[in-house]
Chain A
Amino acid sequence: GAVVSQHPSWVICKSGTSVKIECRSLDFQATTMFWYRQFPKQSLMLMATSNEGSKATYEQGVEKDKFLINHASLTLSTLTVTSAHPEDSSFYICSARPPGQINYGYTFGSGTRLTVV
């Protein structure tokens, strides 16, 4: 149980275009999902917390207008990288946890490798 599906697994886009990444909880409802960014050979950095039905909470230094997060349902959160530039190239990972299970380990999506050319 507690499966999180992330799509696409990789994407290449041209500079200036927008890219949408989807994160789905397949067998549980997730009122909260988390988006991370990982640069090569580095740890994960929390970008934002996605809240179903309300605005996302962004970490300091993350541009909310550039990284648009929508959590329209209890099983789907999307991250849109707008006007992408090469420096946005990175590995993006989402995670979620079944509700009411504070001691349950978070489940992570398989990640999305974004390359902006």
Chain B
Amino acid sequence: AQSVTQLDSHVSVSEGTPVLLRCNYSSSYSPSLFWYVQHPNKGLQLLLKYTSAATLVKGINGFEAEFKKSETSFHLTKPSAHMSDAAEYFCVVSDSGSARQLTFGSGTQLTVLP
């Protein structure tokens, strides 16, 4: 069984300040972990993915995430927020025992203040 917990439903930051979106997971197998971003009324865009290679994963638009097995975490960070980063972010897990299925976190709404 696999599950994902996004610890914050809403995060608000000022433009130019760091972003931290938290995600914890549980998985019975070696997991693959993803962060997706969704803008209003749009589909999901893949930001980055972890698939058992380097634990620090760099994605698009300056985002990165670190896989910490001991903490079962996969937090998403960005050094400096931009107004265009305002969106909904989903942490997603897919374990090797269930390659067909993704499990989504509940989402974190990121607001960027001018």
Q: A residues touching B (Cβ–Cβ < 8 Å)?
A: 4, 6, 9-10, 32, 34, 41-46, 49, 91, 93, 95, 102-111, 113
Contact A111 B41 (CB under 8 A): yes
CA distance A109 to B96 in the complex (A): 24
Contact with A along B57-92 (1 / 0, CB 8 A): 000000000000000000000000000000000100
Contact A46 B107 (CB under 8 A): no
Contact A49 B44 (CB under 8 A): no
CA distance A27 to B105 in the complex (A): 29
Contact B41 A102 (CB under 8 A): no
Residues of the B chain whose Cβ atoms lie less than 8 Å from the Cβ of A44? 44, 90, 104
Residues of the B chain whose Cβ atoms lie less than 8 Å from the Cβ of A107? 46
Which of A4, A32, A108 neighbours the largest number of chain B CB atoms within 10 Å of its CB? A108
Nearest-neighbor residue (CB-CB) of A4 within chain B: B43
CB contact between A93 and one of B43, B51, B99, B107 (< 8 Å): that residue:
B43
Contact B102 A106 (CB under 8 A): yes
Q: B residues touching A (Cβ–Cβ < 8 Å)?
A: 32, 34, 36, 41-46, 49, 51-52, 90, 96, 99-102, 104-107, 109
Residues of the B chain whose Cβ atoms lie less than 8 Å from the Cβ of A4? 43
Contact B51 A103 (CB under 8 A): yes
Contact A6 B99 (CB under 8 A): no
Tell me how far the C-beta of A99 lies from the nearest C-beta in chain B, rounded to whole angstroms: 11
Contact B104 A105 (CB under 8 A): no
Residues of the B chain whose Cβ atoms lie less than 8 Å from the Cβ of A32? 100
Contact B43 A46 (CB under 8 A): no
Nearest-neighbor residue (CB-CB) of A32 within chain B: B100
Contact A93 B44 (CB under 8 A): yes
Nearest-neighbor residue (CB-CB) of A102 within chain B: B99
A42-B107, A110-B42 known; A103 vs B49 contact (CB < 8 Å) = yes
Residues of the B chain whose Cβ atoms lie less than 8 Å from the Cβ of A46? 101-102
CA distance A110 to B90 in the complex (A): 15
